[in-house]
Structure 1
Amino acid sequence: MSRLQQIALTKVKGIGPKTARTLLAHFGCVEEIFHAGKKELAQIPYVGQQIIHTLQAKEHIKEAEKELAFVEKHNIDVLWIEDKAYPKRLKACEDAPILLYYKGGVPLNPPRCVSIVGTRNATSYGKGLTEELITGLKGLDVHVVSGLAYGIDVHAHRQALKHNIPTIGVMGHGLDLIYPAAHRDVASRMLEDGGILTEFPSGTKPDRMNFPARNRIIAGMADVTIVVEAARKGGALITAEIANSYNRDVCAFPGRTDQEYSEGCNYLIKTNRAHLIRNAEDLLYLMGWEQKLTPEQGKQLSLLTVALSRDEQAVYDYLKEKEEALVDDIAIHLDWPTSKLALILLEMEMNGILISLPGKKYKNL
């Protein structure tokens, strides 16, 4: 498949991510899109005469040749949406970029991935929360994603680097520059244990309109988006809303009711747009990412399970077999009314025998 044609498709005015995916689904590959005739192209939804004319012109090919020369010169990876290296979490989003430009030293499909966002005007409270959160992520094989902006974003990157956690910065411009320029040193360090990523080609300036598009990548790449500190309006809340639209988990730290840069987090929690978390432990519990039990903890749990009631033992044995299961599946398997099961699950959770996961799932500790 021609990398040149892949880049060229992104240069065609009027073809965004959704239309590009529609064209790919119809033609099967990018080469066939460029070889298609006017009549066949006209049958594709949202493909008008202007797009058809541009597709059959040669200007976008010339632009793509310049871009290809740039990425090859600077050792930038071009990630097509069908490539294995393309972020799989992002690929699942219907408006995911058809192509990404990436420079870095780590793959983009880790076992776990969190996005950390917040205000550009971070307070000592927000910075402290960020430090504690990232310290609690050590050893979890997790990547930290943010936007390399002032405030919480860059603080998250710095803390991730401090603790040797791979961190990815998603840019709202081309990779021929770093914005803000004050963060060049951080970006340089991230290339060794992380990377920088964008959907924008070289020459794209950090214009205001690019950043909402950038935010959807931040949300789409992660299992969970965490808002540390944010005002009622701003990019962090936009990212949270996008994550919600992707059916991804969103978490927020609560703050003082009279603090401007906690207002956004409090709003997300109040309106059930985000789970309230206080620390990394809360996040790990919510996501089911707790560390494996030590031998001593396992021994204690084994002793505990000896004293389980018959009903509790039945639930424990089923979850041991399945690893994790939906409440409805447990009730069906045991042929119990959900009211009975709910009481037993609550008792077992309070006794530290099992934990609840997002989506009404449970698993044994």
Structure 2
Amino acid sequence: MDERLPESDQRLLEQIQLNLIQGVGPRIRHALMEQFGSASRILNAPRQELLNVPGVGTKLANAIIYRSAKSSAEEELKRCRESEFQILTEETQNYPSLLKEMPDPPSLLYCNGTLLPEDELAVAIVGSRKCTTYGLQQAEKLAGALARAGITVVSGLARGIDQAAHRGALKAGGRTIAVMATGLSHIYPLEHQELSEKVANQGALVTEFPLDQAPVAGLFPQRNRIISGLSMGVVLIEAGRKSGALHTARHAYEQGRDVFAVPGRIDHPASAGCHDLIRDGAMLVRDIEDILEGLGPLMAPVVTTQHREIHTPRELSLSDFEQNILNLVTLEPQHLNDIVQSSHLDSSRILSTLTILEMRKVVKRLPGGFLVRATS
């Protein structure tokens, strides 16, 4: 590699090179990193040490040793910078923190658009490509409601439910992220070119795959772990028993994410997978309130574009007045009288609002007339 490059570019090129080697998927990469610790050490490792890594055979060891992807990596980085695509690594500041919780996070995340801190408040909506009008309506409706509440909608840019979810978030003026199973230079399906441009302008297109990766059936289940990994929870709409969306639900369970399902007609096979999930413990969704109530606590407070500090997702359903009253309640116990006095507002209205906040589980009442802000 060019020694004149900054050290950060050298490391990035080494990671791109490793990512370009055919056969180095998430599991093999994880095993290599466990053994060697960095892309540089992997690329410079002796053959026998590489062969000692589970899953690495002679062909893959040779591809790593002979650095067959070196020139391709330099060209890949050049093309990304010309197109103003970002390449994020786990060391990059704006690499999504939710992905770092995964057992096999993407080593590289190609990004067309912008990832923001408030995208930590994200919910995925996935489902069948061959869906009914009912499914499309529910996906667009829920996505729009989530977007208006300040939640980023994540999906996979596919036909059907995914398309409706992105469209609903865009129409509501919210943010949406499309996780692709192809490279950024291969929008799939082709008819979603215009949709992909709108997503990039109002959120981001992301993928772990190189720029020229064409659609391959086996890569779609692999990318599904990123859809769930970017999200606090996953909502399934019209997933049949053989639907690929069920892979996303499985990843969500493995990653400790919340799983929701929208019911359909009990005699329609399009929703059979959703009904199985509900029977087995997934949360039933009738409206956005079910989602906000069911989502677990945040790892850390998130500041939204409206400058609201959110501690639990259910706070997103509050009115402006309710949010203002909630802001009077701190993480440390305060006496009810002190909260009322600090508001300088009508005490009866404050007391009734605090009761509503307690019912919504964003405020917790303690013995002795004390209140504290709920964080879980």
Q: Deviations over 1:268-318 (max 9, x none)?
A: 11122x111110011111124233465479555625879x9xxx642974x
RMSD between superposed Cα atoms in Å: 2.8
- Counterpart of 1:302 in structure 2 is 351
Q: Deviations over 1:43-84 (max 9, x none)?
A: 555445544332221312122123223212222111112322
Deviation, 1:218, is 0.8
Distance 1:35 1:126, change over 3 A: same
- Counterpart of 1:329 in structure 2 is none
Deviation, 1:146, is 0.5
How many angstroms apart in 1 are the aligned matches of 2:353 and 2:73?
64
Q: Please state whether the residue corresponding to 1:195 is helix, strand or coil.
A: strand
Deviation, 1:105, is 3.0
> Structure 2 counterpart of 1:220, which letter?
G
Deviation, 1:133, is 1.5
1:77 matches 2:86: yes
> Structure 1 counterpart of 2:293, which letter?
Y
How many angstroms apart in 2 are the aligned matches of 1:304 and 1:137?
23
Q: Please state whether the residue corresponding to 2:372 is helix, strand or coil.
A: helix
- Counterpart of 1:314 in structure 2 is 367
- Counterpart of 1:19 in structure 2 is 28
User: Is the 1:87–1:109 Cα contact (8 Å) retained in structure 2?
Assistant: no
User: Is the 1:250–1:275 Cα contact (8 Å) retained in structure 2?
Assistant: yes
1:243 matches 2:252: yes
Q: Deviations over 1:102-125 (max 9, x none)?
A: 101343762301110011123222
Q: Deviations over 1:306-335 (max 9, x none)?
A: 9x9xxx642974x716x34xxxxxxxxxxx
How many angstroms apart in 2 are the aligned matches of 1:315 and 1:53?
71
- Counterpart of 2:288 in structure 1 is 280
How many angstroms apart in 2 are the aligned matches of 1:237 and 1:48?
32
Count of aligned pairs: 319
* Match for residue 289 of structure 1 among 311, 314, 320: 314
* 5+ residue gaps, structure 1: 325-360
How many angstroms apart in 1 are the aligned matches of 2:26 and 2:322?
51
How many angstroms apart in 1 are the aligned matches of 2:285 and 2:30?
37
How many angstroms apart in 2 are the aligned matches of 1:296 and 1:145?
28
How many angstroms apart in 2 are the aligned matches of 1:190 and 1:284?
23
TM-score normalized by structure 1?
A: 0.78
> Structure 1 counterpart of 2:372, which letter?
K
How many angstroms apart in 2 are the aligned matches of 1:64 and 1:296?
52
How many angstroms apart in 2 are the aligned matches of 1:87 and 1:52?
31
Percent identity for Structure 1 against Structure 2: 36
Distance 1:240 1:32, change over 3 A: same
How many angstroms apart in 1 are the aligned matches of 2:22 and 2:53?
16
> Structure 1 counterpart of 2:315, which letter?
E
Deviation, 1:221, is 1.0
1:149 matches 2:138: no
* 5+ residue gaps, structure 2: 1-7, 296-312, 326-347, 359-364
User: Is the 1:111–1:141 Cα contact (8 Å) retained in structure 2?
Assistant: no
Distance 1:204 1:303, change over 3 A: closer
Q: Deviations over 1:176-219 (max 9, x none)?
A: 12111111111111111112111111222112111111211111
Compare 109-118 and 152-161 and name the one that shifted more.
109-118
User: Is the 1:85–1:109 Cα contact (8 Å) retained in structure 2?
Assistant: no
Distance 1:313 1:263, change over 3 A: same
Distance 1:316 1:201, change over 3 A: farther
How many angstroms apart in 2 are the aligned matches of 1:109 and 1:296?
21
Distance 1:301 1:262, change over 3 A: farther
